[in-house]
Amino acid sequence: MIVLKAENITKAYDGVKVIHNINMHLKKGEIVSLLGVSGVGKTTLFHILSGLFEPDEGRVMLNGEDITGKSGKISYMQQKDLLLPHKKIIDNVSMPCVIKGMKKKEARKKVELLFRQFGLEGCEYKYPSQLSGGMRQRAAFLRTYVSSNGVALLDEPFSALDTLTKSSMHKWYLNMMDQIEMGTLFITHDIHEAIHLSDRIYVLGGKPGIIKGEICIEQEKPRKEEFEFSKEYAEYKRQIVDALTAQA
Amino acid sequence: MRRRFQSITNKLPAIISMGILLALWHFLCITKVVPDFMLPSPKAVAIAFYEDLDLILEHAGVTLTEAFYGLLIGILFAFVIATVMERWNVMYQAFYPIMIVTQTIPTIAIAPLLVLWMGFGMEPKVTLVAITTFFPVAVGLLDGYKSVDCDYIHLMRSMGASRYRIFVNVKLPGALPHFFSGLKVSTSYAVVGAVISEWLGGFEGLGVYMTRVKKAYAFDRMFAVILFIVVISLLLMLLVNLMKTICMPWIRMEKRREK
Ligand SMILES: Nc1ncnc2c1ncn2[C@@H]1O[C@H](COP(=O)(O)OP(=O)(O)OP(=O)(O)O)[C@@H](O)[C@H]1O
Ligand SMILES: [Mg+2]
C-alpha cells in the first residue's frame, strides 16, 4: 500500500531548475533512501514533500490526500538536529504533542516511556548542549517519531557522525525500525549506508536533478555482516554507481 | 574549589590595575602636582562620602526610582515595538528609520524641553530615561529575532506549529541573549539619564545634589557622588547578568561544554 507519493515534482530557484519531474513513492513501513551528490536538490525535494516549499509543478499525495504545500502533515527531520537549546530533551521530544494541544505534563508523560526504547535514559532532563552528537541525533529521531503518523522524512540522519558512531547508529536504527512501524524516506550520499539500510533506493542525479535509477535491495532484514562482502552487495553497488554516472 | 580559586586569579589583573590607579591618584595629591581644590585626595573623597552618606542615599533613592520606572517603560515599549516590527515587515520599514533618527538627537538637548513640557517632578526624568533606554533594548530584540536560524522555523512549521507558538518557542528564546546585551547598555544609560535630567531642573536626586555641591565648590563631595554613581551602575549591570543566568540556565551548560 502506497502511503506517500510524489507526482511530477519540478522546482526552480530564481529561474534555475533544481529538480525536474520527480516521481517517487513510499509504501507502508518501507525504508527507502534517496541517494545523490551534494547540491543535486535532495533537501529541496524533502522541503517540498514536507510542505514547507511549494513545487512549481506536480503534487504530493499522502494516503490519497493532496497535501502539496501543506506543512504539519509529515514529520520531517532536517539535516541539522535542530534541538531547541533552551528546552530540556524531554520537552524537545514532546514538542509535537504540545503543538497538537496537549498539556506539557501530559506530553512529558506520553514520551517518557520511549526514552528507554530509544536508548536515551537519563537524558530526559538534560539540555541538548549536554549531549553528544550521537545522542542528540537519537533525540531528534525520537522527536520525529513522536510527531509521525506512519511516515517520516530524514535528511542525512547519520552524516554528521563519526564512522564508529555511525555504524553503531545504523545498528540501532535497523533495530528501531524493526520495533516501530514507520515508513521512512531518508537522504544519504553514502552508498554503503543506502544498501545496508534500505528496502529500495532512488538515485537522484544530473542538473536539474532527475531520478536516474531505482534499485530494490532484496535482502532479508536484519542484514548480516557477511552481506557487505557478498556478490549481491557488489552488484547493487555497481548498479548504483552506474546510475549515478549515467549520462542523461 | 579550583573553580573558585580560578575566579579570583581571573580578577587579579583588574584588581591590581585599579590599585595602581588609586595609588597614582593618591601620589598626585600628596605631591601637590595637582592642586587640592581641583583634585581632592582619595582620603578626602572617602571622608566626604562618609559624612554625606545619609544625604547621598536619600537622593540616590529618588534617582534610582526614576531610573527604574524609566527603564521599565523603555523595555516595555521596546518589546512591543520590536515585536510588532518583527511581525509585520511594513512596520519595520516604517519605524526603523524613525528609530535611528531619534537616536541622533542628543539627550542633553531634549532634557530641557521635557522639563518645560512636564515640570520639575519625576515625569520628565522618567520620560528621558525611557527614551534613552528604549533604543538598545529594541535593537537587541530586533537583532535577536533576526538571528534565529530559519531551519528552526521550518522545523516548527513541519510540526504544524502556529505563528504564535513559533514566536514563543523559537524567536523569543533565540532573542534573549541579544536582549540582555541591550539591557546591559540600557541599565547604565538609565542611571546616567536620570542624573542628567536632574541637573537640568528638579528638587531632589543625585543630579540635584551634584549641582548643589558644585555650586559650593565642594570637589571632594562631587567626586564622592561620581564614584557612588559608578558603583551603582556596576552593581546594576551585575544584577542584569544575574538575571540573565537565571532566565537562561542552558547558557551555563553551553559555556561549561566549551571549557
Ligand atoms: N532557498 C534557496 N534559494 C536558492 N537556491 C537554493 C535554495 N536552497 C537550495 N538552493 C540551491 O539548490 C540546489 C540544491 O540544494 P539542496 O540543498 O536541495 O541540495 P542537497 O542535494 O540537499 O545538497 P547536500 O547534500 O549538500 O545537502 C543547490 O545548488 C543550492 O545552492
Ligand atoms: Mg541537503
% of chain B exceeding 90 in pLDDT: 50
Q: Is the model's pLDDT at B181 over the cut of 60?
A: yes
Q: Give B168's DSSP letter.
A: I
Average pLDDT, stretch A203-221? 83
What's the domain count of chain A? 2
Judge if the beta carbon of residue A125 lies within 6 A of ligand 1: no
Same domain, A62 and A177: yes
A62 and A126 in a single domain? The answer is: no
Query: Is there a contact between A38 and A19 (Cβ–Cβ < 8 Å)?
Result: no
Q: What cell numbers appear for A99 in the block?
A: 503543538
* CATH number of residue A193's parent domain: 3.40.50.300
pLDDT at B237 over 80: yes
Asked if B206 contacts B198 with a C-beta cutoff of 8 angstroms, the reply is yes
Range of the domain at A115: 83-147
Residues with Cβ within 8 Å of residue A74, at least 6 apart in sequence = A4, A49, A50, A51, A62, A67, A148, A151, A152, A153, B158
pLDDT over threshold 80, residue A220 = no
Residues A62 and A88 in one domain: no
How many other CB atoms are found less than 10 A from the CB of residue B130?
Answer: 22
Whether A140 and A174 map to the same domain: the answer is no
> SS3 for A231?
helix
CA distance A237 to B209: 85
Question: Which is more confidently placed, B10 or B175?
Answer: B175
How far is it, in rounded angstroms, from Cα B20 to Cα B210?
27
- Residues in chain A whose Cβ is within 8 Å of chain B: 47, 50-52, 71-76, 78-80, 82, 84-87, 95-96, 99-100, 126-130, 147
Return the pLDDT at B139: 92
Among A107, A130, A147, identify where a domain stops. Answer: A147
pLDDT digits (tens, 9 = 90+) for A134-175: 888 889 988 998 888 888 999 988 887 777 778 877 887 887
What's the gap in Å between A189 CA and the centre of ligand 2?
10
Among A147, A164, A188, where does a domain finish? A147
Cβ A159 under 6 angstroms from ligand 1:
no
Provide, rounded to the nearest whole percent, the portion of chain A with pLDDT above 70. 99
Q: What confidence score (pLDDT) does residue B180 get?
A: 95
Rounded mean pLDDT, B206-220:
87
The SS3 call for residue A29 is: coil
CA pair distance A8, A210, nearest whole angstrom: 10
Q: Which amino acid is at A203?
A: V
Which pLDDT belongs to residue B217?
82
The answer, yes or no, to whether residue B8 has pLDDT greater than 70, is no
Ligand 1 centre distance from Cα of residue A43 (Å): 7
The pairing of strands A200-205 and A210-216 is antiparallel
pLDDT of residue B71: 96
Residue B154's pLDDT is what? Answer: 93
Rounded to the nearest integer, the mean pLDDT of chain A is: 87
pLDDT value of residue A214 = 86
Q: Is A35 in the pocket of ligand 1 (CB under 6 A)?
A: no
Calpha distance A122→B95 (Å, rounded)? 48
Are A91 and A178 in a shared domain?
no
- The yes-or-no verdict on residue A117 having pLDDT over 90 is no
Residue whose CA lies nearest to ligand 1 atom number 17: A43
Reply yes or no on whether the pLDDT at B82 is more than 90: yes
Are both A94 and A204 inside the same structural domain?
Answer: no
Residue B111 pLDDT level (bands cut at 50, 70, 90): confident
Residue B199 has pLDDT above 90, yes or no: no
CA of A123 relative to ligand 1 center, distance in Å: 34
Nearest to A141 by CA among A99, A98, A107, A186: A186
Q: Which of residues A201 and B5 earns the better pLDDT score?
A: A201
A218 and A111 housed in the same domain: no
pLDDT of A21 higher than 70: yes
Cα dihedral value B185, B189, B192, B197, nearest 10: 180
Same structural domain, A142 and A55: no
pLDDT of B173: 93
pLDDT at B40 (0 to 100): 85
Using the predicted structure, report yes or no on whether residue A11 has a pLDDT greater than 70: yes
Instruction: Share the mean pLDDT of chain B.
Output: 88
Nearest to A129 among B160, B161, B254 (CB): B254
- Rg of chain B's alpha carbons, rounded to an integer? 23
Q: Hey, which residues does A13 pair with through a beta bridge? A: A16
Give the lowest-confidence range in A113-117, A124-128, B69-73: A113-117
Does residue A171 share a domain with residue A225?
A: yes
B54 at A interface, C-beta within 8 A: no
Give the CATH number of domain B41-258; options: 1.20.1440.230, 1.10.3720.10, 3.55.50.30, 3.40.50.1370: 1.10.3720.10
Rounded to a whole number, what is the distance in Å from the CA of B170 to chain A's nearest CA? 7
Residue nearest atom 8 of ligand 1, based on CA coordinates: A44
A246 or B174: which leads in pLDDT: B174
Q: Which of A147, A175, A193 is the last residue of a domain?
A: A147
Give the residue among B252, B236, B240, B225 at the shortest CA–CA distance from B60: B225
Confidence of residue A247 (pLDDT cuts 50, 70, 90): low
Counted residue by residue, chain A has a size of 248
Same domain, A121 and A136: yes
Asked if residue A102 has pLDDT above 60, the reply is yes
Q: For A70-93, what is the mean pLDDT?
A: 91
Q: What does the pLDDT average to over B114-143?
A: 91
Q: Are residues A156 and A54 in the same domain?
A: yes
pLDDT of B259 > 70? The answer is no
Q: Which residues pair with A62 in a beta bridge?
A: A4, A65
Task: Quote the strand ranges of chain A, DSSP E.
Answer: 2-13, 16-27, 31-35, 57-62, 65-66, 75-77, 151-154, 183-188, 200-205, 210-216
Q: What is the pLDDT averaged over residues B243-249? A: 91
Which residue from A153, A237, A224 is spatially nearest to A194, judged by alpha carbons? Answer: A237
Question: In terms of domains, do A155 and A229 share one?
Answer: yes
What three-state secondary structure class fits A123?
A: coil
Order of strands, edge to edge, in the sheet holding A57-62? A16-27, A2-13, A57-62, A65-66
